[in-house]
Amino acid sequence: MSDTFHAAAPDELDGLSLARFVSRLGVEATTPATFVWNGERSLAPAFDLWLIGTFGPILAPALIEVYRLATAYRLDEIAAIDRRIDASLDAAAKTRSLAAAKAFLEGKDEMKANREWTRFADLVARGTTPGHTPTLFALQTALYHLPLVPTLAAYAWFELESGLPRSYRDLAGTREEVLRAFAATLPHVRVAMERDRDEFADGFPRLRAI
C-alpha cells in the first residue's frame, strides 16, 4: 500500500480494518493515552477537539517524523522529537501518555529482540528521553515496515479506543458512534501528509519548534 491518502466517507472507512490491526501490534493498552473521554459531552465532538488541539498540531507531525527517522535508525533524533512531545503536552496528557507507553515497553517478545527497539528502550530507561506513547507507536510500526498513512490512522484509533471508559466499550450499539468519531481522523491524516510533503524533500524531517 502506498502513502497516498484515500478520502473515505464516514460510512466507508477503507483503512479501518488495517488501522485496527496496526493499532494493536500485540499491545494491550489498559489506560488512556493523550485522549480520554469522560462522557460529559458526545463522543464525536470530544474526539474532534482532541484531533484539532492535539493530534493535528502536535502528534501527527511527530508521528511522521519518528516514522521516517526510524527507517534510518536515527534514534538520537527520534529522542529529540520525543522530548519535544513531552514539552508540548499539558501535564495531564503527559502523565497519561507515559503511563500508556509502558504497554509498549513491556510488549511483544519479538520487539525485545529487535536491536533498534532495545537501543531506544535503553535511552528511555536511562532517562535520556521520556518515552511517550506516540513515539513508541511510530517507532514500532516503522520497524514492522507498516505503511505510514495507516500508521497515522491507527494511532488515532488506538487513542480513541484506549480513551473510552470500560463501561462504554461493553455497551451494545456503541459501534456506530465510535466509527463516526473515528471518521473525523481521516481529513487530519491527509492534511498532515500534505503539510509535511515539502519538508521531506530530502527524505528526512527537519526538526522544528512547536
Residues in the chain: 210
- How far apart are the C-alpha atoms of 35 and 29, rounded to whole Å? 13
pLDDT of residue 163: 93
pLDDT of residue 180: 87
pLDDT tens, per residue, the chain with 210 residues: 333 333 344 433 455 666 667 667 677 777 899 999 988 889 999 999 999 999 999 999 999 999 999 999 999 999 999 999 999 999 999 999 999 999 888 876 777 788 999 999 999 999 999 999 999 999 988 988 888 888 899 999 999 989 998 878 777 778 888 888 998 888 899 888 887 665 544 444 443 333
How buried is 48 (Cβ within 10 angstroms: 0-12 exposed, 13-18 middle, 19+ buried)?
A: middle
- 167: cell is 463501561
- How far apart are the C-alpha atoms of 138 and 62, rounded to whole Å? 9
DSSP for 94-113 reads HHHHHHHHHHHHT--HHHHT
What global pTM score does this model have?
Answer: 0.84
- How far apart are the C-alpha atoms of 63 and 197, rounded to whole Å? 14
In 3D, which of 110, 185, 152 has the Cα closest to residue 22?
Answer: 152
16-23+42-200 has CATH 1.10.4190 classification: yes
- 118: cell is 532495545
pLDDT of residue 46: 95
pLDDT of residue 207: 36
pLDDT of residue 1: 30
